[in-house]
Structure 1
Amino acid sequence: MVLPLAYWLQYVFVSVKLLRQLIRDYRKLSKTGKTTKQKPRGEGFDLDMMQLVISGLANGSVYGLIALGFVLIYKATEAVNFAQGDFMMLGAFITIWLANPQFLGIDFWIAVPLAISIMAVLGYLLDLFVIRKMFGQPQIAVVILTIALGFIIRFVVGAIWKHEPQLLETPFAGRELRIGELVLGFEEVAVIVVTLLLTLFLFLFFRKAKLGKAMQAASQNQLAAYYVGIPVKRIQSLVWALAGAVAAVAGVLFASKGAVDPSTGLLGIKAFAAAVIGGFGSLPGALIGGLIIGLIEPFAAYALPAGYSQIAPYAVMLLVLIFRPAGIFSQMQKKKV
């Protein structure tokens, strides 16, 4: 018992130290921003903060979409798919292969829905021929299987598309939106807007659509759902298909604003932290957890030394685990069958 306690105390100490340092540097920079009145417009502290917020929201939106995949599969199978980040990376590479001129060169607006459909089919087939065979096995077996699946995806992508970073060519590449002196990349705005719309769609889908209600019922009580005539196994396959489609959307959005390579799938670790912060089982919580992680990163990098900024998101996750182990939005979930 001594060793785990020592580790927890160490995590708490580092987390508190990070928070104090962030507050101290923020106050110092705030004072600096207020006293530098002779700086030209557009170079002030407030404008820098807005740029950090937009960048954080864009990255956090991608984390939130990956976290949505975590939550969807967890709600359906009570297992964690640690390959969800690799699904996102695979969706990005499939879209690049379809849309970029050096590959197939299909029109962007055709390539995107095609890539989403391919990832949905892959998710469905994965559950049908692999995950379903694990039925009755301990959940840890499914977790280990998804970890191995992530390694396989990274190896296959590296073998096919090599390990050079690839950027998705989009019709709106290089465009900017200006609000006064604030300059926003069109890709960042698109990432935020699409993420909000997709989250709203999923929320309404699970609340209003018959299939969405069936998915909820099957995830909350499989035996009761089976007795009322819900095809539980088929529903689970559809959930994996939906998680694959959401991962593809996240991959398209991420690849449109930054280069991807096989190691990009490791972003799933940050998305897992987002799901933990928001609370597994909560779709809005997954998105908000992703936004929290996304906002922490640029502000920590801005105010803290590089070494500290890298662990800041995980320090926040540990604080949430200590003070609210079920996540921020855990009490908002109500089971209905």
Structure 2
Amino acid sequence: MGQILQFGINGLMSGAIYALIAVGIVSVFKATKVVNFAHGYLIMFGAYFYFTFAVLLPGMSWAPAWYVSWEPAWLVEMKEGLPMFSPLGAVLDWLTNLPRVIIGLIGALAANAVVGLIIERVLMRPLMGQSVFAMIMVTVGLISVMSGGAQLIWTADANYVPSLAPNTPIRFTLFDTQIFLFGTDLVNAVIAVLLFGAIVAMVQFTKGGVAIRATAEDQSTAYSMGISVPRVFARAWVLASLTGAIAGAILATRNGVSPSLGLFGFSVLAIVLMGGLDSYVGVFIAALVVGVLEAMTQWKFGGDWAGIVPYVAVLLVILVRPHGLFGQKEVERI
């Protein structure tokens, strides 16, 4: 029972990260009907931008001292005499890196939004009115371009970045079972869930969200109602880029920064197909289910088997429901 609870909670936290990644794919699809195969590499760019602003720039000779390491007198005094592996020490060490974390996130958000906007303006907008297949193939081509570009700019070596939250160990008892978590994993999962909920609320209750939904239903009608469809497309790509930057920073703190981060997009694309390309609720449920299944598979069979779980799960689902668990079934009239 103890192992099931431990791995189940770990799986739910991983599923929350998957849901944050998936929300970018769903947002672009809802607005443009384009499946963005390159979303994983947009996340990879977000991770590299976080690495640039949180690690590379503080290492420059011109970087101010507070940017490199923030250590006011009261923080130094609190560190003195603390035992090794102290939870308070972990929090204080994280505070030392706080300026780098904040500037890293702001820089990653801004830079990744610009990348998303460039992709939409330069590559996707000229194809408006053409077949959706042509736009999808552009995203497939972007995979090679972005992967190669990242290796040219930042090299292919794996690098590590400061975590978004203190990595303090958390222990508690649940159903007479001792559960052990890391603080940074818990905070990352909470951030992912809150951002996911905020985006869904924005799409449901704001004018911009109504424009996205109207454009997804019928672009011609949306045009006639005064909605700027190109602007909606741009908003969807920027939204995907912003969530990709946060997801990239989270993944970077867990796995390091390397071009292999882009491969996460394919696993999450399987999750999106499983939940339904146009359903936020379906994707969230599918992400949590896959996260738990991966954790249980890793526990019983090892990490090599866990990697195939999203693909097996989506195959089983689409055999029964080709449009996903909660996806809208499209009816074509001839």
| Category of TM-score, reference length = shorter chain | 0.7 to 0.9
| 1:23 alignment partner in structure 2 | none
**Runs of at least 5 residues in structure 2 that lack an aligned partner in the other structure:** 69-98
| 1:332 to partner: Cα distance | 10
Q: Measured at CA, do residues 99 and 140 of structure 1 come closer, stay the same or move farther in structure 2, by a change above 3 Å? A: same
- TM-score with structure 1 setting the length: 0.80
Distance, in Å, in 2 between the alignment partners of 1:96 and 1:224 is 43
| 2:36 alignment partner in structure 1 | 81
Match of 1:157 among 123, 147, 150: 150
Q: Measured at CA, do residues 282 and 171 of structure 1 come closer, stay the same or move farther in structure 2, by a change above 3 Å? A: closer
Match of 1:258 among 249, 255, 258: 255
| 2:298 alignment partner in structure 1 | 301
CA contact (8 A) 1:187 1:257 kept: no
| 1:170 to partner: Cα distance | 2.6
What secondary structure is seen at the aligned counterpart in 2 of 1:174?
A: coil
Distance, in Å, in 1 between the alignment partners of 2:20 and 2:261 is 15
What secondary structure is seen at the aligned counterpart in 2 of 1:325?
A: coil
Distance, in Å, in 1 between the alignment partners of 2:162 and 2:150 is 19
| 2:84 alignment partner in structure 1 | none
1:228 equivalent to 2:215? Answer no
1:318 equivalent to 2:315? Answer yes
| 1:62 to partner: Cα distance | 2.2
| 1:102 to partner: Cα distance | 3.9
| 1:242 to partner: Cα distance | 0.6
**Runs of at least 5 residues in structure 1 that lack an aligned partner in the other structure:** 1-45
Q: Measured at CA, do residues 311 and 170 of structure 1 come closer, stay the same or move farther in structure 2, by a change above 3 Å? A: closer
Match of 2:3 among 48, 55, 61: 48
Q: Measured at CA, do residues 179 and 60 of structure 1 come closer, stay the same or move farther in structure 2, by a change above 3 Å? A: same
Within a 5 Å distance, the mapping from 1:142-153 to structure 2 comes to 142-153=135-146
| 1:305 to partner: Cα distance | 6.2
CA contact (8 A) 1:92 1:251 kept: yes
Q: What is the identity, as a one-letter code, of the residue corresponding to 1:232?
A: V
Distance, in Å, in 2 between the alignment partners of 1:305 and 1:169 is 28
CA contact (8 A) 1:276 1:289 kept: no
1:86-114 CA-partner distances (Å, limit 9, x unpaired): 11111011001101244675631132123
What secondary structure is seen at the aligned counterpart in 2 of 1:326?
A: coil
CA contact (8 A) 2:43 2:245 kept: yes
1:182-231 CA-partner distances (Å, limit 9, x unpaired): 22111211121111111111111112111111111112111111101111
Q: Measured at CA, do residues 115 and 229 of structure 1 come closer, stay the same or move farther in structure 2, by a change above 3 Å? A: same
Give me the identity figure in percent.
30
| 1:138 to partner: Cα distance | 2.1
Match of 2:215 among 215, 218, 243: 218
- The size of the alignment, in residue pairs, is 288
Distance, in Å, in 2 between the alignment partners of 1:142 and 1:234 is 17
Distance, in Å, in 1 between the alignment partners of 2:194 and 2:299 is 30
| 2:51 alignment partner in structure 1 | 96
Match of 2:279 among 282, 300, 303: 282
CA contact (8 A) 1:64 1:287 kept: yes
| 1:330 to partner: Cα distance | 2.2
Aligned-residue CA RMSD (Å): 2.0
